[in-house]
Structure 1
Amino acid sequence: MKLPNVVQELIKAQNNFDSEAYANLFSETGVAYDEGKTHTGRKEVQQWIAEANEKYKSVMQPVDYTQTDNKGILSANVSGTFPGSPALLKFYFEINEGLIQSLKISG
């Protein structure tokens, strides 16, 4: 499966629990949507993923990736300390100039 570099790096950052590297993959105005909340900008994204890493200890194993233009959908098995683990989650990306403009995570 061929993944864009930014998606590969996001998986690596997640699996290493590196919230700073994770946030730096977003544009300055990038947005993450997860669990009904919106996190805008690198600072908010870093705070959100750091809290999620602490709480859930989630790691990702990519299963499938499709892309059309600048939008991609990653399906990944995610395991951690959350109820229902492991779970197959979908990550909806919008990528501009090699950075994540938006990421929406759903079950």
Structure 2
Amino acid sequence: MNLPKFITDFIEAQNNHDAVAYSSLFSENAEVFDEGKNHIGRAAIQKWIENSNQQYQATLKPISYKEGEKGSVFTAQISGTFPGSPAILNFNLVLQQGLIQSLKITG
């Protein structure tokens, strides 16, 4: 599968549980929506992914990637130490100047 660099970087950062590399893919005022909660700003996103990595040890296996007018959807199988693992999730992304401005994770 031919994926854009920011998606391969996203997968690599997640699979290495590297919160600094993961958060560096986001703009300073980016927003993440996951498990019913919003995380706003790069520092909050880094804290959220650090906690998530410690709790779930999740890894991503890409399934598909589609670009649209209003953003992109990256679909992946996510495996980890959470109930229902593995699961298929959609990562709904909006980019701004090469960085992720918005990420909404849906099932």
TM range (shorter): over 0.9
Runs of 4+ in 1 over 6 A off after TM superposition: none
Correspondence for 2:85? 85
Task: Classify 1:96/1:70 alpha carbon distance in 2 versus 1 (closer, same or farther; 3 Å).
Answer: farther
Correspondence for 1:7? 7
Shift of 1:99: 0.3
Give the Cα–Cα distance (whole angstroms) in 1 for the partners of residues 22 and 70 of structure 2: 19
Q: Which amino acid is the alignment partner of residue 88 of structure 1?
A: I
Counting aligned pairs with the same residue, the percent is 47
Number of aligned residue pairs: give it.
107
Query: Deviations 1:19-67 (Å, cap 9, x if unpaired)?
Result: 0110010001111100000001110000000000000000000000000
Q: Which amino acid is the alignment partner of residue 80 of structure 2?
A: G
Q: TM-score, normalised by structure 2?
A: 0.96
Tell me, yes or no, if structure 1 residue 53 matches structure 2 residue 53.
yes
Correspondence for 2:103? 103
SS of residue matched to 1:14: helix
Query: Deviations 1:4-31 (Å, cap 9, x if unpaired)?
Result: 2111111100000000110010001111
> What are structure 1's unaligned runs of at least 5 residues?
none
Give the Cα–Cα distance (whole angstroms) in 1 for the partners of residues 37 and 4 of structure 2: 26
Q: TM-score, normalised by structure 1?
A: 0.96
Give the Cα–Cα distance (whole angstroms) in 1 for the partners of residues 70 and 22 of structure 2: 19
Matches within 5 A, 1:62-73: 62-69=62-69, 71-73=71-73
Tell me, yes or no, if structure 1 residue 33 matches structure 2 residue 25.
no
Q: Which amino acid is the alignment partner of residue 15 of structure 1?
A: N
Query: Deviations 1:63-93 (Å, cap 9, x if unpaired)?
Result: 0000014610011000000000000000000
Give the Cα–Cα distance (whole angstroms) in 2 for the partners of residues 86 and 64 of structure 1: 16
Q: Which amino acid is the alignment partner of residue 30 of structure 2?
A: G
Q: Which amino acid is the alignment partner of residue 82 of structure 1?
A: F
SS of residue matched to 1:2: coil
